[in-house]
Amino acid sequence: MTTELYFTANFQILSFDVDYKGRAHLSALMNYLQDAARGHSIREKFSVFELFEKGVTWVVSRYHLKINRYPVLGENILVKTWASGKNGYYALRDFEAYDEKQNKILSATSSWMIIDLNTRRPVKVENLFPDELVLHQRALEDDFPPLPIVETLDYKADFRVLFEDLDFNRHVNNVVYSRWAVEGMPQEMLFSGRPMTLEINYRSEAFYGDEIEVITQKPVIPDGFWVQQIYNLKTGKEVARLRSRWMRYEHLGNEGKNQDETG
């Protein structure tokens, strides 16, 4: 991988990024990925700001993360990102994150679309996204097949879209969906483990004031997948599907010397 085709950004895990054990929240990790992608797009002049001038914008379609270890309060991490492909209406972006010892702590791949700001319909990326920026290398191999739906309702949680949930496009930021998914889990899972894989299929937009419902199905086998769907109760539309696999704290390994320091 040549330096011209990827972008790196450094982040320190701060107190407002961590949970009660001092480990970074899943949403914090996704925010770091998002900010690295923003920096890359600005450097190469294909950010939402440049696209706004053309009457279009970026929206994310799919995300798949595999987390090897959650960094802890005070750690410094490096996020590497690159454009990994494009096809028709979709552009791919991949990520890797490393700790200070150069150990890989996560891998991720994502799929993005460019939509028309007036019609909200996708447009082909070929004419807006240059070939020379694409490095055909994947952090995770995934052709983004359909995710399963909830067949047995085991848990349900309701949320309201807040002003702070909105992004530059004035709809819910993609990271917020991961937060809803985590908050939609049963309490016993929240206090005993964390997600080590997460797949998200973003299916429709949500806006300020919308009422959101998360429905969750527990795994049918031990250590299997949790399946979730998120609905907009105002419109009746499904806004996302998610699948995740959780690991209990006793199996997470050494999380670092600061794991129980919360400032």
- Tens digits of per-residue pLDDT, 197-223? 999 999 999 999 999 999 999 999 888
The pTM of this model reads 0.91
Specify the pLDDT at position 260: 39
Q: Mean pLDDT throughout 126-155?
A: 91
- Measured between its terminal Cα atoms, the distance across the chain in Å is 38
CB atoms within 10 A of CB 48: 17
Q: Where are the beta strands (DSSP E) in the chain?
A: 7-12, 56-67, 76-87, 90-98, 104-116, 122-123, 155-160, 193-202, 211-217, 226-232, 238-248
- The answer on pLDDT for 46 being more than 90 is no
The domains of the chain are located at 3-251
Structure tokens at 213: 């419902």
- The answer on pLDDT for 253 being more than 60 is no
- The answer on pLDDT for 2 being more than 60 is no
Q: Mean pLDDT throughout 48-54?
A: 87
Ramachandran bin of 66, using left for φ above 0, alpha for ψ from -120 to 50, beta for the remaining angles: beta
Q: How confident is the model at residue 252 (pLDDT cuts 50, 70, 90)?
A: low
Mean residue pLDDT of the chain comes to 91
Between CA 180 and CA 27 the distance in angstroms is 10
The SS3 assignment for 26 reads helix
Topology of domain 3-251 in CATH is Thiol Ester Dehydrase; Chain A (3.10.129)
Specify the pLDDT at position 3: 52
Q: Mean pLDDT throughout 109-126?
A: 90
pLDDT digits (tens, 9 = 90+) for 164-202: 999 988 999 999 999 999 999 999 999 999 999 999 999
